[in-house]
Structure 1
Amino acid sequence: MLLITLLPVLAPVFIATAIGVVWAKSGAEYPSDFIGKLVMNIGTPCLIVASLAHTDVELASISRVALAAALTILLTGIAGAFILRLSGQPLATYLPPLILPNNGNMGLPVCLFAFGDQGLALALGYFLVMMLSTFTFGITLVAGSGNWRRTAAQVGRQPVLWAMVVGVIILLADVALPKWIGNTVDLLGGFAIPLMMITLGVSLGRLKVKRWQRSIVYSVLRIGGGLLVGWLVSMALGLSGTERGVVLLQSAMPVAVFTYLLALRYERDPQEVAAMVVASTVMAFGVLPVILWWLL
């Protein structure tokens, strides 16, 4: 019975990721940079608008999940900084992987298959907060400087942010999209999640990992600590049902692949961060069935 419940949720995620890994190992060309831009600039914004246009989830519910996301990231960051200071490890290298989970490539499909369209709409609220945190605090921390004007301009150029604004307006106005627009965003938003999963697999297949010991410890902190903080925040905010389930799942996601790209760009020990991405993702496939069994 447990297998029947979990298989429809995890099998699509695992298979799509495995396709990406096999593709990378085969040596076949995969333009990750182009596909990443396609997903983030077109697919995901259309997915956000389509999901919010079709959902019956109230804006207040999405706002509660977004608040939970902000609190979870903040508290995880405080705890992570404290642990790293005690252990003498550089914050610029290890804090972003500890506090920025893979809420897009992995979190969105898991929440979709676990809780349906309602879960996807709520998961997008969590995802947006994580994206804003990445393009503000994450980049500033890794880069080692704080040009807030440039950071604000960079955030303002993100299509996902404006897609969320459009989606919120649709929810508040309680209007339906014209049929041709609705069909267009449905079509373009449909490629976002499959390409996210395959690209995740390709990224995992290409990463070169040489050091495992510390990465395993920090992967446990990312998943276990994120889950614990997410649970505490959910309790404090009085979340229940799908709201609580989405917050717990998104809080327990593995290290975001984007943190490796940041480490590579700013030379913040990318090999160590790559090991955390791989170790935490493998760990997540073992932990997620337990979390889903608990939630479902």
Structure 2
Amino acid sequence: MISALFAVIAPVFLIAGIGYTWVRLGWPFDTDMVARLSTTVGVPFLVLHVMTRVDLAGAALATMALSAVLAVLIMGAAGLVLLRLARLPLPPYLPALTFGNAGNMGLPLCLFAFGEPGLALAVAFFVVTAILNFTLGVAVASGRFALRALARTPVIWALAVALGLKATDIPLPAFLANTVQLLAGFTIPMMLLALGAALANLRPGGLTRAAALSAFKLGVGLGAGLLVVWALGLTGAVRGVVLIEAAMPVAVFNYLFAERYGNRPEEVAGMVLISSLMILGLLPGILWLAWDGMPPPL
């Protein structure tokens, strides 16, 4: 069990650690460029590659989409209640309490825990949360709702193409399939490097409140995942992926939105950093729950 846990957790933090160390050594790392490259090129091609390569039933993908929506609603509602009771403003904190790091951290964890089928399930969860984050999350952070942002989100187009290809059983030509595979291959390592670099650049403020909100986010996330898998009767890899993705720490995108709209970015940065550190101690338990008490066959 310990070796299986280490095999899943170690690659994520070792690669993120390279990005963190690179920046702390003072070597040049264009975090914005790498993050933009990953989200506008890497992730769309990863979605296209995984969705066309792995044979998953439409029911499983629909279940993941529903699970993601339910988990986000539960975390958002819990965050709203907490912030109202604490009389804290919504724009800085509600997106951070609602949207976890389902991409940079969730995707590789699900890949290492459940293989390519797990990655495909995680991609479905991630795409839904990304859509909600870039619409509802941005709306809360900015104070206005812009549905047009979806049309400028490359991952939406990649998902549409992938679903179209699966529905029509049209294979990609070999040269396109190889190109897609190469571009998809750099995505997860690049995202982890960017995560480590972003954490190295963060300058957290308001640590006490950030720590309390981070603990709340992780607890509610895991609770939301457990509630969703119980309510939907999920089992196997579907259950495990939902638990992992729902329990992820605060997404780095929430810090970028807070910085862009002037919503206490130092405290949101603190939540990203502290929740990412807290997850270190929680991951063995999360993976144990995801595997239903037993490690997957190696």
Kindly provide the amino acid, as one letter, of the partner of residue 186 in structure 1: Q
Contact 1:107 1:250 in 2 (8 A): yes
> Within 5 Å, which residues of 2 pair with 1:22-171?
22-146=21-145, 151-171=146-166
Correspondences of 1:251-266 after superposition (within 5 Å):
251-266=246-261
Structure 2 Cα separation of the partners of residues 264 and 8 of structure 1: 35
Q: Which residue of structure 1 lines up, in the alignment, with residue 295 of structure 2? A: none
Selected match of 2:273 from 272, 278, 285: 278
Q: CA deviation at 1:252?
A: 0.2
Match of 2:294 in 1: none
Could you say which residue in structure 2 is the equivalent of 1:200?
195
Aligned equivalent of 2:225: 230
- How far has the Cα of 1:110 moved from its partner? 0.3
* Residue matched to 1:294: 289
Q: Distance in 2 between matches of 1:159 and 1:265?
A: 21
Give the C-alpha shift of residue 166 in structure 1: 1.2
The structural deviation recorded for 1:159 is 0.9
Q: TM-score, normalised by structure 1?
A: 0.96
Structure 2 residues not aligned, in runs of 5+: 292-298
Please list the CA deviations of residues 137-163 of structure 1 after superposition, one character each: whole Å capped at 9, or x if unmatched: 1111111223xxxx2222111110111
Pick aligned residue for 2:212 from 217, 240, 247: 217
Aligned-partner SS, 2:56: coil
CA distance in 2 between partners of 1:96 and 1:295 (Å): 25
Cα distance in 2 for residues equivalent to 1:243 and 1:170: 23
Maintained 8 Å contact 2:244/2:290 = no
Cα distance in 1 between the residues matched to 2:144 and 2:153: 21
Distance 1:94 1:121 in 2: 30
Say whether the 8 Å CA contact 1:59–1:171 is kept in structure 2.
no
Extract structure 1 runs of 4+ deviating beyond 4 A.
Answer: none
Name the CA distance, whole Å, in 1 between partners of 2:250 and 2:95.
Answer: 9
For structure 1, which runs of at least 5 residues remain unmatched after alignment? none
Aligned equivalents of 2:157 and 2:53: distance in 1?
A: 18
Q: One-letter code of the match for 2:288? A: W
Alignment of 1:170-209 (within 5 A): 170-209=165-204
CA distance in structure 1 between the partners assigned to 2:92 and 2:205 by the alignment: 16
* Number of residue pairs aligned between Structure 1 and Structure 2: 291
TM superposition shift of 1:174: 3.0
Please give the alpha-carbon distance, in whole angstroms, between the structure 1 residues aligned to 2:211 and 2:35.
Answer: 27
Give the corresponding residue for 2:4: 5
Comparing 188-197 with 28-37, greater Cα deviation is found at: 28-37
What is the deviation of 1:175? 3.4
* Aligned counterparts of 2:264 and 2:86: Cα–Cα separation in 1: 17
Task: Say if 1:59 and 1:168, in contact at 8 Å, map to a contact too.
Answer: no
8 Å CA contact retained: 2:218, 2:275: yes
Q: Is the 8 A contact 1:58 1:171 kept in 2?
A: no
Report the alpha carbon displacement of residue 168 of structure 1 after superposing the two structures with TM.
Answer: 1.3
Q: Report if aligned partners of 1:47, 1:188 keep a CA contact under 8 Å in 2.
A: yes
Structure 1 CA distance, aligned partners of 2:240 and 2:290? 6
The alpha carbon displacement at 1:289 in A equals 1.3
User: Which one of 236, 242, 263 corresponds to residue 241 of structure 1?
Assistant: 236
What code does the residue aligned with 1:225 have? V
Q: CA–CA distance in 1 between the matches of 2:181 and 2:189? A: 14
For the 8 Å contact 2:61–2:124, the answer to whether it is kept is: yes
Distance in structure 1 (CA, Å) of the matches to 2:167 and 2:108: 26
Structure 2 counterpart of 1:15, which letter? L
Structure-1 separation of matches of 2:91 and 2:148: 22
